[in-house]
């Protein structure tokens, strides 16, 4: 029998993805053993989650009405890169090669899981696209879900603006004999002239 | 670039044991997607960690000066069961076969990791033991750490009170051919007459 507050803490940690009873208990014991300052910082950081919002334009996480990209003046609003999740943005930003804006769908179409186009952040994407839009880059995951979503969006956007999809191909630093057949086929199809 | 508060949240989750950058980010995104009520409950539960203390007598987690066991009137204070961690208590309580009090060492002796007897909650154990104490049961883990600690405590307590150690032996429901040699040897040594 643990003290009530300890049980509450364990129960709270169980809400985190992939955390079961044992792990939650381990987290709670660890949190108990932190010094006062670490505990205070943790509580403060966690309390901040209430104040976070989704960007009204693109659906990315934001601490204001607009996210850092939609607010920035040095980004090109004529090119919109569509991603499934907000965390995909970080991966793209790390490349440093994209200077347009983003649009976060918040998932991908998956009929088996009952996730349909109307469950995604697609309506607001359509609203953003106008005659100034030069290109929509579909950067959904290279999975069945991501492909289905990309196909759906391509049909939806086709007549309104130029639509492109990230290139498939061999990974830099990988080996040909370890590359799966489908990826290699796509790499052949998408070969570029030197 | 994530909003400041989101970075703080991710950073906070990284303090949990075994949680790296990727997992922390996953937790933060999950927390973001919770409904307001779940977020509120989580924040409240986490805020409670500051109010938890260690029992002044036994070192167990408590929400008061004394833990639930030290406070209870139906436990036998003459028998003290020594465990390495507070969570071991729950395992022993689940058996329903022990009605004495506990003492939490908060670790085990491990010279390689620099954990020495003076780092453990041993001094307060010595203070608790008096002429009324009938038995000290050493329920440290059956590991090198736990064994070392048990050996140390046996020598320390030997002349003051009766000291016992949990029995080694075969696990209920296991198979003899899967039992390791050392455990089987100990099971032979500790055999009881029928």
Q: How far is CA A138 from CA A131, A142, A162, in A?
A: 18, 11, 11
Q: Does residue B86 sit at the A interface (CB-CB below 8 Å)?
A: yes
8 A C-beta contact, residue A77 and residue A101: yes
Neighbours of A107 (CB within 10 A): 16
The H or E element containing residue B189 is helix B181-189
* CA nearest to A88, candidates A49, A135, A141: A141
Optimal mutation site among B24, B33, B46, B120, interface A, most CBs of chain A within 10 A: B46
Q: Which chain B residue shows the shortest CA-CA distance from A18?
A: B27
Q: Does residue B49 sit at the A interface (CB-CB below 8 Å)?
A: yes
Q: Does residue B187 sit at the A interface (CB-CB below 8 Å)?
A: no
Cα atoms in the 13 Å half-sphere on the side-chain side of B178:
5
Q: What is the pLDDT of residues B79-134, one digit of tens each?
A: 999 999 888 898 898 888 899 999 999 889 999 988 899 989 999 999 999 999 99
- Does the CA dihedral B54-B56-B59-B61 come out positive or negative? negative
d(CA A141, CA B6): 23
Flag if B46 and A46 touch (Cβ within 8 Å).
Answer: yes
Optimal mutation site among B4, B21, B49, B74, interface A, most CBs of chain A within 10 A: B49
d(CA A142, CA A189): 16
A135 CB-near residues (< 8 Å, 6+ apart):
A78, A79, A80, A100, A161, A162, A163, A164
In chain A, DSSP assigns E strands to 53-54, 61-62, 76-83, 100-104, 135-138, 162-165
Q: Does residue B26 sit at the A interface (CB-CB below 8 Å)?
A: yes
Flag if B51 and A5 touch (Cβ within 8 Å).
Answer: yes
**Phi, psi torsion values for B137, nearest 5 degrees:** -100, 120
Flag if B9 and A46 touch (Cβ within 8 Å).
Answer: yes
d(CA A58, CA A56): 6
Q: Does residue A188 sit at the B interface (CB-CB below 8 Å)?
A: no
Looking up tokens 């992939």 gives A18
Q: How far is CA A133 from CA A126, A160, A163, B149, in A?
A: 11, 9, 10, 71
Q: What is the pLDDT of residues B152-170, one digit of tens each?
A: 999 999 888 999 999 888 8
The H or E element containing residue B23 is helix B21-33
Whether ipTM exceeds 0.90: no
Q: Does residue B48 sit at the A interface (CB-CB below 8 Å)?
A: yes
* CA nearest to A48, candidates B190, B43, B51: B43
pLDDT tens, chain A, 194 aa long: 778 888 999 999 999 999 999 899 889 988 988 888 999 999 999 998 888 888 999 999 888 889 999 999 999 999 999 999 888 898 898 888 899 999 999 889 999 988 899 989 999 999 999 999 999 999 999 999 999 999 999 999 988 899 999 988 888 888 888 888 888 888 888 887 77
Structure-block tokens of residue B147: 């064994």
Partner residue facing B2 (CB), from A8, A11, A61: A61
């Amino acid at each position: 029998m643990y003290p009530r507050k300890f049980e509450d803490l364990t129960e709270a940690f169980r809400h985190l993805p992939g955390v079961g009873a044992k792990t939650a208990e381990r987290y709670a014991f660890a949190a108990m053993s932190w010094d006062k300052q670490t505990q205070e910082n943790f509580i403060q950081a966690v309390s901040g989650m209430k104040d976070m919002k989704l960007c009204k334009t693109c659906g990315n996480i934001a601490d204001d009405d607009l996210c850092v990209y939609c607010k920035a003046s040095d980004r090109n609003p004529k090119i919109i890169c569509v991603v499934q999740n907000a965390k995909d943005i970080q991966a793209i930003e790390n490349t440093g090669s994209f200077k347009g804006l983003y649009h976060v769908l918040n998932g991908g179409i998956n009929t088996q899981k009952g996730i349909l186009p109307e469950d995604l952040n697609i309506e607001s994407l359509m609203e953003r696209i106008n005659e100034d839009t030069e290109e929509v880059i579909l950067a959904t995951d290279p999975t069945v879900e991501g492909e289905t979503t990309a196909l759906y969006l391509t049909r939806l956007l086709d007549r309104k603006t130029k639509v492109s999809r990230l290139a498939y191909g061999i990974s830099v630093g990988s080996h040909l004999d370890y590359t799966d057949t489908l990826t290699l086929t796509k790499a052949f199809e998408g070969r570029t002239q030197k």
